[in-house]
Structure formats: structure tokens, C-alpha cells
A and B are shown apart, each in its own frame.
Chain A
């Protein structure tokens, strides 16, 4: 049963604004107004998850208050409303990454599940003993472990393209590693630790020259950059809703229709079938073939609202504002003596990881927390990358569209306090 949406309602809170009014944007996010340990919250842990605008919270609430029902099968009014909202959200996600068709948008739990889906279906079908999967040295664990599991099962080999000390991919090395046995290149678009923006368009091109399909992990890219999967020409693109100002537990796998069509299903269950007898099951068409069981309906609708919200501001203005903020933060933070920024690539998104001489990140995190500043400390689910830089952990401040220069100043003062206390 294929559902075709006829009309998509856009609930954008404002037209595309010429001017980026951060104070107005901050008022859209209820969580930002609170105090933590008596200090105004400075939320700089956006690469872990972002705060949610009122529009997203309301969209989820509206579903549970008014439209709650199962989708795609009910004949009643509520089911029709829920189905429409959910499928509208799929179209919004499609347009957000400029996918050619909404059936190429598979709703999953997040980028992690998206990658696992590809490893478990595409990987299971096409990867044989002796084959290779190519990743980079700056992958998140979620773009390492699914491939390790696959390689172990198949007797295949995981190859890793190296990076330089600034945290930039060595493109020549990457190209050398694209070989006749490479079945897939699974590459991070933006590093969650270093902030490096990889030249993924060129990387896809080099892979395609050798007939190798590419999956891009866009978990950290989608919230900050304009993503165009047709321009990138990647076979797969994965991202999470919760880093995109949307709800947790929802994300997207984009896949080229012809590639997805040729893949076996991911999980068996309801919604992914078109007919079942005990002898044989006929699978549903895209995207439902990959969406077994009742989906995260509220999450999907919330993600749609998040996309509307971002479109209302415009991804280009968001990227420009965040770039300016990153430049300011980098300058201010790198001025602190005894502090070293990890990840100094020429092209970066709003992530600043740093280490301090003689002071462990965990202690930095605790002291900053007392100042109301939320940062992440630890290995950021990228242990091989920590090893590459010879450090056990970093402190990471990651920016979002609602952060301000004033907050960066508060962070810098917080770091000074850390030094006073522990230095």
C-alpha cells in the first residue's frame, strides 16, 4: 500500500529572514531560558544533542493530543490525519536534503540505525570474503562498529583512510585505498570531534570513478550545512533528527531508489509487506520495505516541524552565522595559555575540542557545569581518533544557531576559573 501525499502544509514560523536575529531565535527554545546552578544556562553540547524549538514540542504534543492513531491502515479520521502528517514530514525531509523522491527517505531511529541498516542489508548482500569497506580515521563509533561486525561475519576487511595533525583527511591516501575490492566507502561528512568538513563531493567522485558506492554519515553536517544529495551524488546519506533540533529516536536514511530497490529488507514485520502467506511474503515498495513495525510517528512529525523551522531561517544564513561564531570562539579560546585545540582543519563546522596542560577534561567539565556551561568531555565515541592524537579525552564545545558571542565569553571565563582552581 503506497501512500502518496497530495499536498504538504508548511508551517514555517517566519519567512526567510534577511537578518539573523539570534535573540529572537533564542526565545523559540524554552530550555535555553533556565538557570543551572544559579547561572544562566550556556548550552554548548549541541553535537551531542540540540535543544528543541517550541514548534517541534508543539507538533509532537499536537499529535498525542489530537491525532494519535496508527498510520497507513486506519479508515478513520484520526488515522488519516496522522498518516498525512507523517508522510508530509517525509516530503519535508526529502526537500531538506534535495532528494529526488520521497520514497528514498527511510525513517529510522537515527544516523546509527541508518548505517546499521545499510550494513545489514546492502552489506550482507554485496560484501563477500576478501572484500573491503573503506572508512576514515575520524569516524564516530557508529560508522566503525557496524562495518566491523559485517567484516567479521563475511571475512571482509575494514580499511581506514588516514588524517594529518590538523585533522584533515589525506585525500591522496584515501584515493589509493579505493581499490578493486572496495565494496563501499562509508565516510563522515563533518567530524563530531574535530569539526572537520570533509570534501565529500570530491570523495564521492573519486569513489564513483572506480565504481564504488558511497555512504555519507551526515549526523553532524545536516544541522549546520545545506545538504544536497543530488549534488553530492552519494548512494546513501544518514542523519539524526535530534541533532537537527528535532526529537530523539527519529532519523533519516536517504538512499538512491535503484540501490534501495535492489537491497533485501532490514527487519520483518508489519508495514514492510504487501502480502503474507505462510509460504511466501511479498515485500512492500519503497520506503515501507525498510520500515517494519509501527514507526516513531510523533518523532517523524516533530522532525518535519524542525525542518520547517530551519527552512524558516534558511540553512545558508544559519551556516553563515555559525561560521562567524566559530571564528570568534576559535580566536578567543586559542588565546588561553596552556590550551590546545584538537582539530584545526581549514574547513570546519562549529565544534571546538581542546585539551589543557595538566588538567583532565573531566575536571574541566565539572567546573564549567558549576558555571552553568554544558560541554561534553570524554572520547566522544571516537576512541581511535583519540588514539591518533595521543590523548585520552578532550573537552568539546559545540555550537548551534542559538549560541552567542556572549556565551563564548562566558565559556572563556569559565576556562579561566578552571585554571585558577586546578592550574
Chain B
């Protein structure tokens, strides 16, 4: 069960049961829908921007503990960040969950709370759950209208 505790850390369980910023945003500048056809996870991300900085971020959808908590922590982490900072964060997060992060599982300290997703690297089938919201955010910021699919 050690591995599972590593995957389902307290912070992840907390955010999956009580997702933060879980709401439809009126007057969002950008929004996009993400979909994982394999497990039916759906997430919609809403973004407000001001001078290249994310001033508000929210999401709605349904999914597993990993995808819901990932979306929730994404909204918490990226609020107030510039687009460049958000992009950098995505790269680091992606490296962390795919096990390609420098410094091994501890990952980059600048990831902050997102480091709780380090356990995902041991479960390759769950990487898509962890990154769904992030891919969706990228698509929202590019202004793409199509639904992002993990497949």
C-alpha cells in the first residue's frame, strides 16, 4: 500500500473531495473543455487575464481523484502568475508526473504544493488524469475552441 499512499496523498484527497475554485466564471476571457475518452473525465477551465497575468482561474467538471485535485491545485497555484510563469510551471509539472524531473521524485522546489503529484510517476496509466487540466488550460489560453482530448 506504500505506493498507493504515495499516489493518494492527503492534499490530493482533500482537493478531490473539496475542489477549490470549482465554479463557472461569468465573463471569462478564455475557456476550454478537456476530455479523456478512456475514463470519461471532463473538465472546463475558465481564465481571466489582465496585462498577461492570470487574475482569476476556475474549473468545473467530473473526474477521478487525480484529475479533480490536479485541476483544483492548478487553479490555486496559477492565480496571479504571468503566462510565461504558467507555461514554465506546466513544463515542470509535466516532468514531475512523467518521472523526468531533474532531482528525481522530489522535483523542483518551485512547484510548491504541486509536488504532491510526484507519486503519479509510478502509475504511468494515470499521467493523463494528472495532466488533463493543464492541457486544457494551455488550449484555453491559445483560444482554441475545440475540446482537448487526451487521445
Chain A residues with a Cβ under 8 A of chain B? 358-363, 366-367, 370, 377-379, 383, 386, 392-393, 417, 421-422
Contact = CB atoms under 8 A, between A and B. Distances in A.
A392 B40 contact: yes
15 contacts: A359-B65, A360-B39, A361-B64, A362-B39, A362-B67, A363-B64, A363-B66, A366-B7, A378-B39, A378-B40, A379-B39, A392-B39, A392-B42, A392-B62, A421-B8
B17 A362 contact: no
A392 B8 contact: no
B123 A366 contact: yes
B54 interface: no
Given A370-B1, A370-B4, A421-B8, A362 B123 contact: no
A392 B43 CA distance: 12
A378 B129 CA distance: 13
A359 B68 CA distance: 11
A421 B4 contact: yes
B80 interface: no
Contact of A422 (B8, B123, B126, B129): B8
A362 B62 CA distance: 12
A363 B39 CA distance: 10
A361 B125 CA distance: 14
B3 interface: yes
A360 B64 contact: yes
Contacts of A360: 39, 63-65, 68
Contacts of B8: 363, 421-422
The secondary structure that dominates the A interface is helix
Given A358-B17, A363-B64, A386 B7 contact: no
Interface string B37-64: 0111110000000000000000000111
Interface in B1-43: 1, 3-5, 7-8, 13, 17, 38-42
Contacts of A362: 39, 41, 63-64, 66-67, 126, 129
Nearest to B42: A392
Contacts of B5: 421
B40 A393 contact: yes
Contacts of A366: 4, 7, 123, 125-126
Contacts of A361: 39, 64
A261 B42 CA distance: 47
A399 to B, nearest CB: 23
Nearest to B123: A366
Contacts of A378: 38-40
A422 B65 contact: yes
Contacts of A367: 4
B8 to A, nearest CB: 6
Interface string B114-145: 00000000010110010000000000000000
Given A360-B39, A366-B126, A383-B40, 4 more contacts: A360-B65, A362-B66, A367-B4, A392-B41
Contacts of B126: 362, 366
B136 to A, nearest CB: 16
A422 B125 contact: no
Interface string B91-113: 00000000000000000000000
B41 to A, nearest CB: 7
Contact of B65 (A363, A370, A377, A386): A363
A64 B59 CA distance: 55
Contact of B40 (A359, A379, A422): A379
B123 A377 contact: no
Nearest to B38: A378
Contacts of A363: 8, 64-66
A362 to B, nearest CB: 4
A185 B62 CA distance: 35
A383 B63 CA distance: 15
Given A366-B125, A422-B13, A386 B4 contact: no
Contacts of B64: 360-363
Contacts of A386: 40
Nearest to B37: A379
Contacts of B42: 392
A367 B65 CA distance: 12
A370 B5 CA distance: 11
A363 to B, nearest CB: 5
Contacts of B123: 366
B138 to A, nearest CB: 22
A369 to B, nearest CB: 9
A370 B40 contact: no
Given A360-B63, A362-B64, A362-B129, A377 B4 contact: no
